[in-house]
Amino acid sequence: MENNSIEMSLMEPEERELVQFIYDAIPAGDRNGLTPDDILLVLDLMDDYLEEQGLLREDPQTGEMEYLDGEVDETEQLNYVLKALQSEGRTVTGVQIQLIQDAELQYGIEKGYYEEE
């Protein structure tokens, strides 16, 4: 992935690190057509799903988003994201979404955000 792309240059450092981690974790053969913008959109849609399920909310005091305890139906989340991407005319595949989900989870485990199951 080109580090000098416009999308990458506009990201916060932690967000850029996450997107780069995810991109690098996806096998080269599965990256076809996948951009940093696509990865960010998938991550945003994953969060939208969590908000709709009551598993993510904004802390009224700090303004930061906080993840709440609960089970995430990954298949349901995948279908939600895929449907939203298709409605926007994006060509990200279900396999690519799953790989992004898996890589985001791995990143969170490595950073200590999530506990390994």
For residue 1, tell me if it sits in a domain.
no
Beta bridge partners of 56: 67
Q: What's the pLDDT score for residue 3?
A: 44
Q: What's the pLDDT score for residue 117?
A: 60
For residue 42, tell me if it sits in a domain.
yes
Helix (H) / strand (E) element for 9: namely: helix 6-10
Q: What's the pLDDT score for residue 100?
A: 96
- Tell me, what DSSP letter sits at residue 46? H
How many independent structural domains does the chain possess? Answer: 1
Distances 49 to 7, 34, 87, 115 between C-alpha atoms, Å: 23, 21, 15, 20
Look at phi and psi of residue 59 and say left if phi exceeds 0, alpha if psi is from -120 to 50, else beta.
beta
Per-residue pLDDT of the chain (117 residues; tens, 9 = 90+): 544 455 666 778 888 999 999 999 999 999 988 988 899 999 999 999 999 999 888 888 888 888 888 888 889 999 999 999 999 999 899 999 999 999 999 998 898 877 766
For residue 117, tell me if it sits in a domain.
no
Q: What's the pLDDT score for residue 25?
A: 96
Three-state secondary structure call for residue 56? strand
User: Hunting for tokens 């890589």 — which residue is that?
Assistant: 103
Q: What's the pLDDT score for residue 1?
A: 52
Q: What's the pLDDT score for residue 77?
A: 94
Which residue range is the domain that position 59 belongs to?
A: 6-111
Sign of CA dihedral 99, 67, 41, 22: negative
